[in-house]
């Protein structure tokens, strides 16, 4: 592996602000958890139920990733006017979908919470929280589409600043409403809703300023193009989330200690994935732009470098996890049974990191190339194999170690499928049209 590459500077220039934005986004729920956790067990459980419902919104990240790929390709092809119009369509689509989902959450909050399984006072708190937070959902979606467009034109600093400011406003409002005005969990919900609305307004201003008034009008053909790419990414994300939800359901049947160990390892997995996903975002931008400009060899060379860097980062994570295998679990729990279960799964969890690095990089590269149909089909196939592994782990009573082994099957299946696609270079389709 070469220590340096001519692509390293640009990859890092794009990946670092993307990493900052990725790391900042989950802070909304973390801040809510920290503040609501001091109100009582029912309020905290209600927040957990609401967070479970809101996590489903992650399946709509195609508004972000699909927009980035399409805008980057148009920009690379010199079709700047189309790129600007795509940014406007991402804004309209995000706003429309966000309004529909916000209405559904507000109107169906009670049956949705009942479906999650909470009851009594906890259910009442959860319903209240969801109905208030729904106000900020359209703005949350506007931020998704806005980030997708701005990333596509290689503007990653402005979204990072807006997200950080939104988080700071969220903290200030929640402290004021919950503790200063004694609004309880309602204050937490209002703080989040207001902060997200302000952030959404900021993204509207940024996009309108860059796109220009002349390009803000709805364009059905371009909106349809974004949706045609997005539908495949929607399937891909849904299958991925389904695999993790199923894994959580299986491990819960083994016992509390196993579930606790899985929760610790899974949250660490998500945290490490943020770093690797930052490189994948750089892949979406660079590959889309180079293919749009008709430079397939540069797209392939840059992609190869991103895979190498992502695998190397995964290797560093693997070593760190193995060295700290006795330390990290104890940061989360002192329960001997949970720590013992962590010891069982830890080698599998650690050694899968380089594979995860390769998968995340390839995923970003193929998204940037607009190869959505292949990504969706391969992800569904990987989910089927993972589900079979999870069922076997449950029947054979393999415990949390078997669950993580099944998740390794998911990663390996995706690596084989996308690696084969990458090597064959069929994704190197140039030009805008």
Per-residue model confidence as pLDDT tens digits over 157-215: 999 999 999 989 999 999 999 999 999 999 999 999 999 999 999 999 999 999 988 88
Q: Enumerate residue ranges in the chain where pLDDT < 70.
A: 1-3, 25-28, 30, 433
Question: Are 377 and 217 in contact, with CB atoms under 8 Å apart?
Answer: no
User: What DSSP character marks residue 176?
Assistant: I
pLDDT computed for residue 48 by the predictor: 76
Nearest alpha carbon to residue 351 among 331, 321, 326: 321
Q: In sequence order, what are the residues at sequence separation of 6 or more whose Cβ sits closer than 8 angstroms to the Cβ of residue 29? A: 51, 54
2: left (phi over 0), alpha (psi -120 to 50) or beta: beta
Would you state the structure tokens that stand for residue 350, as one six-digit string? Answer: 């650690």
Q: What's the CA angle centered on 232, arms 226 and 233, to 5 degrees?
A: 80
User: What DSSP character marks residue 155?
Assistant: -
pLDDT computed for residue 258 by the predictor: 87
How many residues are given for the chain?
433
pLDDT digits (tens, 9 = 90+) for 108-134: 999 998 887 778 888 899 999 999 999
Query: 147: how many CB neighbours lie within 10 A of its CB?
Result: 31
The reported pTM is 0.86
**Alpha-carbon span 58 to 240, nearest angstrom:** 11
Nearest alpha carbon to residue 47 among 21, 28, 61: 28
What three-state secondary structure class fits 3?
A: coil
Would you state the structure tokens that stand for residue 138, as one six-digit string? Answer: 């359209």
Q: What's the CA angle centered on 29, arms 25 and 33, to 5 degrees?
A: 150
**Alpha-carbon span 386 to 176, nearest angstrom:** 45
Residue 398, CB half-sphere, CA atoms under 13 Å: how many? 17
pLDDT computed for residue 2 by the predictor: 59
Helix axes 353-368, 399-424, angle to 10 degrees: 40
User: What DSSP character marks residue 179?
Assistant: I
What three-state secondary structure class fits 186?
A: helix
pLDDT computed for residue 433 by the predictor: 63
Helix axes 353-368, 296-323, angle to 10 degrees: 160
Q: In sequence order, what are the residues at sequence separation of 6 or more whose Cβ sits closer than 8 angstroms to the Cβ of residue 384? A: none
Question: Are 265 and 333 in contact, with CB atoms under 8 Å apart?
Answer: no
Would you state the structure tokens that stand for residue 67, as one six-digit string? Answer: 């927009």
Question: Are 163 and 199 in contact, with CB atoms under 8 Å apart?
Answer: yes
CA distances from 178 to 162, 169, 183, 189 (A): 24, 14, 5, 9
What three-state secondary structure class fits 166?
A: helix
**Alpha-carbon span 45 to 119, nearest angstrom:** 10
Nearest alpha carbon to residue 300 among 433, 432, 430, 148: 430
Nearest alpha carbon to residue 293 among 11, 54, 83, 23: 83
pLDDT computed for residue 20 by the predictor: 85
């Amino acid at each position: 592996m070469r220590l340096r590459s001519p692509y390293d500077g640009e990859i890092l220039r794009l990946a670092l602000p993307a990493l900052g934005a990725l790391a900042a986004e989950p802070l909304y729920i973390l801040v809510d958890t920290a503040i609501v956790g001091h109100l009582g067990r029912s309020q905290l459980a209600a927040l957990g139920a609401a967070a479970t419902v809101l996590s489903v919104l992650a399946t709509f990240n195609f508004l972000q990733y699909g927009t980035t790929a399409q805008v980057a390709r148009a920009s690379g092809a010199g079709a700047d006017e189309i790129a600007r119009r795509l940014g406007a369509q991402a804004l309209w689509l995000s706003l429309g979908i966000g309004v529909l989902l916000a209405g559904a959450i507000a109107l169906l909050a009670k049956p949705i919470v009942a479906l999650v399984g909470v009851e009594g006072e906890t259910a009442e708190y959860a319903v209240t929280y969801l109905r208030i937070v729904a106000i900020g959902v359209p703005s949350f979606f506007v931020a998704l589409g806005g980030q997708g467009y701005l990333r596509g034109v290689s503007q990653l600093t402005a979204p990072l600043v807006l997200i950080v400011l939104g988080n700071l406003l969220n903290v200030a409002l929640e402290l004021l409403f919950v503790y200063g005005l004694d609004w309880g969990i309602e204050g937490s919900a209002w703080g989040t809703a207001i902060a997200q609305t302000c952030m959404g307004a900021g993204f509207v201003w940024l996009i309108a300023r860059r796109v220009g008034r002349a390009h803000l009008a709805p364009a059905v053909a371009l909106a349809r193009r974004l949706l045609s790419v997005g539908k495949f990414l929607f399937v891909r994300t849904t299958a991925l989330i389904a695999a993790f939800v199923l894994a959580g359901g299986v491990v819960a049947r083994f016992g509390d200690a196993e579930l606790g160990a899985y929760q610790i390892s899974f949250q660490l997995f998500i945290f490490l994935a943020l770093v690797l996903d930052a490189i994948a975002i750089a892949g979406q931008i660079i590959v889309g732009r180079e293919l749009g400009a008709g430079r397939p060899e540069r797209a392939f060379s840059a992609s190869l470098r991103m895979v190498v860097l992502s695998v190397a980062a995964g290797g560093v994570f693997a070593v760190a996890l193995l060295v700290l295998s006795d330390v990290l679990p104890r940061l989360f729990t002192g329960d001997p049974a949970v720590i013992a279960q962590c010891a069982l799964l830890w080698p599998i969890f650690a050694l899968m990191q380089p594979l995860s690095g390769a998968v995340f990089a390839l995923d970003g590269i193929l998204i940037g190339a607009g190869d959505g149909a292949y990504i969706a089909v391969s992800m569904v196939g990987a989910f089927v194999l993972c589900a079979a592994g999870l069922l076997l782990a449950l029947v054979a009573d393999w415990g949390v170690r078997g669950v993580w082994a099944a998740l390794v099957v998911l990663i390996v299946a995706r690596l084989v499928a996308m690696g084969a696609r990458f090597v064959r270079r069929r994704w190197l389709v140039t030009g805008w049209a």
